[in-house]
Amino acid sequence: MTKNPYEVLGVPQSASDDEVKKAYRDLSRKYHPDANVNNPLADLAEEKFKEVQEAYDMIMKQRAQGGGSYSYGGGSSAGGGNSQDVEMQAVINFINSRHYQEAINLLNRMPNRTSMWYYASAVANASIGNNIVAMEHAQQAVNMEPGNMQYAQLLNQLTWTSRRYQGNPYGGYGMGSSCGTGNMCCDLWLADTLCECMGGDLCSCM
């Protein structure tokens, strides 16, 4: 990106990780498309939202790599990329911060549905109890990329959870009893699996 990512988030380069994350969350809420539906400047807000995602991604990647300074200008940085990449990173950030519905809303606006799209959608939907959709999308991700072990692990976990609750007199779906917000361990596993697929590690013990 051509702008200083710290200026985009409105924080100094000396800001702590917590300060960077707080600025990112505040700006994401402010410019999120869902918060600007009736705003005549909705298109501008959406561009700003994407800019905030990219700036946050650049800063966190740079810090994870041990510091150093950014170069701003024509060159593409590690945090850059096309619109789909920026939006997917925003989806990951929403899931890791447990804003699952926001992740789903953003996914639904993305036109290019890759195997990663179906995988992320499966994780987000499973996390709020939309188990049927989660299963379908996990299966689609595996079908599109059968050699991906992360996708296969997610599908196996969702299949196991579904079978476990099939004998439940209240039904396996729609009660939040499956792999969603009612199961903290499963929530963490889902988010960690997604984070690892994107090259990170949310929970090192998993």
3-state helix, strand and coil shares in percent for the chain, rounded to the nearest 5: 60, 0, 40
Please check whether residue 24 is in contact with residue 94, taking contact to mean a CB–CB distance below 8 angstroms.
no
Average pLDDT value over all residues in the chain: 74
Using a 10 angstrom Cβ sphere, with 0-12 exposed, 13-18 middle and 19 or more buried, the burial of residue 35 is middle
| Nearest 10 degrees: Cα torsion 80, 81, 85, 90 | 20
Which tens digits make up the pLDDT trace of 151-200? Answer: 898 899 888 877 765 555 444 443 333 444 344 345 445 555 555 555 44
Contacting residues for 56 by C-beta, under 8 A, at least 6 apart: 5, 9, 20, 21, 24, 93
pLDDT of residue 168: 52
**Higher pLDDT, residue 69 or 24:** 24
pLDDT of residue 107: 92
Token pair belonging to 178: 């499956």
Task: With cut-offs at 50, 70 and 90, classify the pLDDT of residue 82.
Answer: low
Q: Which of 4-18, 76-90, 166-180 is predicted with the least confidence, judged by mean pLDDT? A: 166-180
Which tens digits make up the pLDDT trace of 113-139? Answer: 899 899 999 999 998 989 899 999 999
